[in-house]
Structure 1
Amino acid sequence: MSTLKELRDSGHVQRDVRDEIRHNLLAALRAGIDPWPGLVGFDDTVVPQLERALIAGHDVVMLGERGQGKTRLLRTLSGLLDEWTPVIDGSDLDEHPYEPILPESIRRASELGEKLPVAWRHRSARYSEKLATPDTSVADLVGDIDPMKVAEGRSLGDPETIHFGLIPRAHRGIIAINELPDLAERIQVSMLNVMEERDIQVRGYSLRLPLDVLVTASANPEDYTNRGRIITPLKDRFGAEIRTHYPMELDDEVDVIEQEADLVASVPTYLIEALARFTRYARENPSIDQRSGVSARFSIAGAETVAAAALHRSAVIGEELPVARPVDLQSVIEVLRGKVEFESGEEGRELEILDFLLRKSVADVVRAHLGGVDMRPLIAALEGGHPVLTGDRVPATDVIGAIGDDETALAVLDEIAGRLDAADDAERASALELALEGLYLARRIGKDEGDDGQTAYSVTVPDDDFDRDGA
């Protein structure tokens, strides 16, 4: 269908963007199709609120701390638009062929009639996004006079001299403004007419345009609720204010990491769980500034770092299969320190705090997965042989081989491997390390971290007062 006549003959029915989203959302819900692919932990909280807001046809602002999935959630909205929609070919604002709104498009429709050319636009091109920054201008969002068009001979009063901004260009689509409170107040004022009267004002004269656009935004709750950061009339124009949150359940936290992390090596699930617990402890710790939040990117970056450490080890020592081990968790402390804000009184203790929280997390994982396993044969194997060495240059076979050929100890290793789904030597070495780390944290064996990057587990228990597992 390339002309207006062909479009009419096809029986195409025009819908505004809100009705389009409402229709497709309800159709998906009736069919049992998940309209929110890739979202984890919002099923019973955020998603129902958002669905009601969209069915009501409201503009939406998402409030939440950093790393809570606000932008990802907004980007999924484009999936509720029709896959393809007709537009007037060559139009600046992608107007519907049934309803031209620009003077130029109205003139073309009058002159060409049923021969008005029609093009098709994919829904992915109908979603626009703008990161609000202090230097954002009215011209960026709404528009300004185009000096080139004036130079061509048009008068300043001619509406065709306007160069449209992002919001008018989102006509028949969705516009998302991230970090809305960062917009200067005068820029926020320029959005008032767009959101309520659906018209725009440029350089002192008003161009009445029946804009069809769904306005969405994201913001930090602290900034949004502070009247000094966002003007009250703009807040009033959003029909729905929806609060996001970090994953409430540990399983959801693990799912987020596994879904989002780009892992270059195999990372056992229990190590992912340790990072998830680590993140959750950081969100509760009074030494960490909870107003800035602890983003999901914290644990995602941690998982990627652990995988990188495993791949680095396999490259250095020539292991064929890179598998992360608990010793690799130590590599995340330095990397993640810069991703959280500490309270002012904790200067100089950042690494100590993170190391303590990581040890608590590992201890929790050991209790959750290896609770009830009789570890005494492993301790006996350490007493009768050499310390178990691990590190970034120690092969998996050496880790396993260090416990010797004692059948009782090997039987315990088999039980540990079974609980942790460890099949090959690389995975069994990782499982053994977790068990040894658990014994150390329970103060049943000792651990010596050398300057050469190697860690030795032995039966010598250091006489110190450090509470390893946070009990």
Structure 2
Amino acid sequence: MPSPSTRPETIGALRRSGWVSRPVKEEIRQNAVARIRAGEPLFPGVLGYEDTVLPQLENALLAGHDVIFLGERGQAKTRMIRSLTGLLDEWMPIVAGSEINDDPYHPVSRHARDLVDAEGDDTPIEWVHRDDRFGEKLATPDTSIADLIGEVDPIKVAEGRYLSDELTLHYGLVPRTNRGIFAINELPDLAERIQVGLLNVLEERDVQIRGYKIRLPLDVLLLASANPEDYTNRGRIITPLKDRFGSQIRTHYPLDVETEVAIARQEARPLEADGLRVVVPDYMAETVAELSQLARQSPHINQRSGVSVRLTVANIETLVANAARRALVHGETDVVPRVSDLDALASSTAGKVEIDSIEEGRDEQIIEHLLKAAVLSVFRDHVPIEDLRPVIDAFDGSRVVHAGEDVLSADYVALITEIPELREPVRRLTGGDESAAAVAAAVEFVLEGLHLSKRLNKETIGARAQYRGRG
């Protein structure tokens, strides 16, 4: 497409430029074909769906289908919908002043038709960016037909127009997204009588407003999202409407810890503080992700409400924040989360899951149990217990190691001098990072892993802990 300064400004100039009008689904299909052929991702930033959801979505786009996504909260449904704008042409011409993005070659609104009839090839055109060709509505019980389709504008009537005049119409969100993409989130929450108003949009591709004898043949790719729990209980999608969607795609949570970690690292807000260097070791990030994975399998967590990936993201952010606060208090510049920082996740976890418990105070115990299980699982993956026999032997007798938020990183470095058997497992965890903060995090992880493996005893007093041999 030519630069903004050289784009055609009239319909006649547009014809001479060779621009060809395409339906929006064909436009998306052709752009998708070009990306697939070039080996480029259609949905960059969407992780974990490469072999499941994305092939289905690509099929739907190539087939020209309207799509409904079914999935629990936090499964990237809205992100995929919004990213579809990247498959639109960057710029699109419309009849100047059109409220519904009238095609210069095939105008449908009264304003555009009258202007083209009067001006012909001299009709002025405007250019709309693809980001402005996307419309979205969160379905709520109070959503009306006027919101989606349109209504009479009393201001225009007061200006002297007759009610029968098409120019008195105020177009709703769907017509205003003509030649673009429109999305309805949480579709089952839309009242059934309002869902009926979408039937023509999906099948006949037009809208009818009030008693006006008009048809607006719309060109829209319609997408919707729904939570399966809402779909089956709180609301429902009426059968005729569900039948009109060409494809129904089921989303899911990350299937493995590695994918969950990648998503969390991508989405978590970086902690920006002057003079701080933040590093989240893989084993700590995996512990946070494993917590979410275990929560999705726990009988104590309400699985119908789901355990969103947002839990993992929020917990990573909380973990880093607690480590940064500790580093600031100690005057340290390196921020590396430790096992002792995991206690801070209680606050960010409690608000993201629904715990099925009738006992007072049981919620905290369930979260604590899941955290310990997550640490133990990751510890076993990273540090073979048979390699730690020398460390266990070093705790025979009266040796006691203190740990917790108030222990400086330098104290853990000194501990390795006292217990040289820790050096190799710590080196394996740090991956060569010899900073005091990285060493401290690795030492705490090894000690906690040995305790959870029932190789060391642990006594907790407030924020402090003591590890000692079991003999």
Secondary structure class of the residue paired with 2:105: coil
2:459 to 442, 448, 457: 448
- Counterpart of 2:3? none
User: Residues of 2 paired with 1:26 and 1:225: CA distance?
Assistant: 36
Paired amino acid for 2:222: V
Whether 1:339 and 2:346 are equivalent positions in the alignment is no
Answer yes or no: is the 8 Å Cα contact 1:63–1:244 preserved in 2.
Answer: yes
1:45-444 paired onto structure 2 within 5 Å: 45-225=52-232, 229-264=236-271, 265-343=278-356, 345=358, 348-372=361-385, 374-382=387-395, 387-403=400-416, 405-406=417-418, 409-410=419-420, 412-423=422-433, 424-444=435-455
Stretch of structure 1 that moved more, 359-368 or 338-347:
338-347
| C-alpha displacement of 1:252 | 1.2
Cα deviation 1:211-239 (Å, max 9, x = unaligned): 00011000012333569522111111111
| C-alpha displacement of 1:384 | 7.0
Answer yes or no: is the 8 Å Cα contact 1:422–1:431 preserved in 2.
Answer: no
| C-alpha displacement of 1:345 | 4.5
| Residues 281/316 of structure 1: CA separation in 2 closer, same or farther (3 Å cut) | same
- Counterpart of 1:465? none
User: Residues of 1 paired with 2:156 and 2:367: CA distance?
Assistant: 59
| Residues 346/206 of structure 1: CA separation in 2 closer, same or farther (3 Å cut) | farther
Answer yes or no: is the 8 Å Cα contact 1:316–1:393 preserved in 2.
Answer: no
Whether 1:34 and 2:41 are equivalent positions in the alignment is yes
| Residues 124/385 of structure 1: CA separation in 2 closer, same or farther (3 Å cut) | farther
Answer yes or no: is the 8 Å Cα contact 1:17–1:213 preserved in 2.
Answer: yes
Please provide the CA RMSD for this pair.
Answer: 1.9
Cα deviation 1:346-371 (Å, max 9, x = unaligned): 66421111111111111011110011
Answer yes or no: is the 8 Å Cα contact 1:386–1:402 preserved in 2.
Answer: no
Answer yes or no: is the 8 Å Cα contact 1:334–1:351 preserved in 2.
Answer: no
Answer yes or no: is the 8 Å Cα contact 1:382–1:388 preserved in 2.
Answer: no
Cα deviation 1:72-99 (Å, max 9, x = unaligned): 1111111111111112222111112112
Answer yes or no: is the 8 Å Cα contact 1:199–1:207 preserved in 2.
Answer: no
2:32 to 22, 25, 28: 25
Secondary structure class of the residue paired with 2:184: strand
Paired amino acid for 1:241: Q
Secondary structure class of the residue paired with 2:387: coil
Paired amino acid for 1:91: S
| C-alpha displacement of 1:206 | 4.3
| Residues 305/228 of structure 1: CA separation in 2 closer, same or farther (3 Å cut) | closer
User: Residues of 1 paired with 2:289 and 2:203: CA distance?
Assistant: 43
Secondary structure class of the residue paired with 2:69: strand
| C-alpha displacement of 1:116 | 1.5
Cα deviation 1:372-410 (Å, max 9, x = unaligned): 56324434555578633333332211222234x24xx33
Stretch of structure 1 that moved more, 100-109 or 440-449:
440-449
| C-alpha displacement of 1:11 | 0.7
| Residues 347/134 of structure 1: CA separation in 2 closer, same or farther (3 Å cut) | farther
User: Residues of 1 paired with 2:399 and 2:283: CA distance?
Assistant: 27
- Counterpart of 2:468? 458
| C-alpha displacement of 1:344 | 5.1
Cα deviation 1:271-314 (Å, max 9, x = unaligned): 11111111111111111111111111111111110010011111
Structure 2 residues without counterparts, runs of 5 or longer? 1-7, 272-277
Identity fraction in percent: 50
TM-score scaled to structure 1, two decimals? 0.92
Answer yes or no: is the 8 Å Cα contact 1:389–1:402 preserved in 2.
Answer: no
User: Residues of 1 paired with 2:32 and 2:202: CA distance?
Assistant: 22
Answer yes or no: is the 8 Å Cα contact 1:288–1:340 preserved in 2.
Answer: yes
